[in-house]
Amino acid sequence: MKTKQISRREALKTAALAGAVLAAAPRLFAQPAPAAPGGPAMPITSAAAPAPSGPFTLPPLPYAYDALEPHIDALTMHIHHDKHHKAYVDNLNRAVASFAPEPIPGIEVLLTHMDGLQANVRTAIRNNGGGHYNHSLFWQMMKPSGGGAPAGDLGKAIDASFGSFDDFKKKFSATALKVFGSGWTWLTLNGGKLMLETTPNQDSPLTDGHQVLLGLDVWEHAYYLKYQNVRAEYAGAWWNVVNWDFVADRYNQSKA
Ligand code: MN
């Protein structure tokens, strides 16, 4: 059997082509990188954190681990923020690492342009980017001595959309109990309308273009140490720590 011989010229040509392929860095987006979404910037972190590694960084909790006691216990907050959220950030950074030195867009751009991402990183960015985005907001949606009811335009909009604030709370909690497995329940703004919705895993409503106003993490890691399997008790106690000022600010910014 005769083996096909490759001439020296052909070998050099093949090597040159391979070199050209290696020299071209892989690109995060299959298509040219999209522009940032229009409208006012919606910062997801309240503190300017230094970036020890990046491009994504774990924002500090805006209060002490035990600040939400007795409704959410300190150990849960510690593990949830320092381990779970950190893992999302680390894995997101890993997912985009091979695209350096290409500038990596912000998390909102990534989540709203999922279809344009390279297929081999899309799932990692969906899960870990969603986890980073959702949790960055979640910490700020809570505060010590929170709770009560939203005033101003958001309060009026909730009454108009859900009948009353109490009706809204009932519907939101009922929706949270219906999430099968791990996921989130959300109050979002879509085309100027308030909506209740749920997402599985770490999917974010932002991917569908819905602005997140308020969200409840119903993964077991968010409540199991204190509430075990009783999600309803966690969802009920959580109203005592909701930071309505933060939610109302997001509503006003989204409407602007
Ligand atoms: Mn979580």
Instruction: Give the pLDDT confidence score for residue 255 in this predicted structure.
Output: 85
CA of 3 to the centre of ligand 1 (A): 59
- Is 62 inside a domain boundary? no
CA of 61 to the centre of ligand 1 (A): 13
- Is 198 inside a domain boundary? yes
Identify the domain containing residue 237 by its residue range. 152-255
CA of 72 to the centre of ligand 1 (A): 13
pLDDT in tens, 147-192: 999 989 999 999 999 999 999 999 999 999 999 999 999 999 999 9
Cα 80 to Cα 98: distance, rounded to the nearest angstrom = 28
- Is 157 inside a domain boundary? yes
Q: How confident is the model at residue 33 (pLDDT cuts 50, 70, 90)?
A: low
More confident residue, 1 or 70: 70
CA of 138 to the centre of ligand 1 (A): 9
Query: What predicted TM-score, i.e. pTM, was given to this entire model?
Result: 0.82
pLDDT in tens, 214-241: 999 999 999 999 999 999 999 999 999 9
The neighbour count for residue 5, using CB atoms within 10 Å, is: 6
CA of 80 to the centre of ligand 1 (A): 6
- Is 177 inside a domain boundary? yes
- Is 158 inside a domain boundary? yes
Q: How many domains does the chain have?
A: 1
Sign of CA dihedral 136, 79, 181, 162: negative
Under a CB-based contact definition with an 8 Å cutoff, are residues 37 and 109 in contact?
Answer: yes
Instruction: Give the pLDDT confidence score for residue 98 in this predicted structure.
Output: 82
CA of 103 to the centre of ligand 1 (A): 28
Number of helices (H) and strands (E), helices first, in the chain? 11, 3
CA of 180 to the centre of ligand 1 (A): 15
Q: How confident is the model at residue 35 (pLDDT cuts 50, 70, 90)?
A: low
CA of 5 to the centre of ligand 1 (A): 59
pLDDT in tens, 71-127: 999 999 999 999 999 999 999 999 998 887 788 999 999 999 999 999 999 999 999
Cα 182 to Cα 237: distance, rounded to the nearest angstrom = 19
Under a CB-based contact definition with an 8 Å cutoff, are residues 178 and 216 in contact?
Answer: no
- Is 171 inside a domain boundary? yes
CA of 227 to the centre of ligand 1 (A): 15
- Is 178 inside a domain boundary? yes
CA of 158 to the centre of ligand 1 (A): 26
Instruction: Give the pLDDT confidence score for residue 38 in this predicted structure.
Output: 56
CA of 225 to the centre of ligand 1 (A): 13
Question: Is residue 187 helix, strand or coil?
Answer: strand
CATH number for 166: 3.55.40.20
Instruction: Give the pLDDT confidence score for residue 14 in this predicted structure.
Output: 52
Q: How confident is the model at residue 198 (pLDDT cuts 50, 70, 90)?
A: very high
CA of 217 to the centre of ligand 1 (A): 6
- Is 251 inside a domain boundary? yes
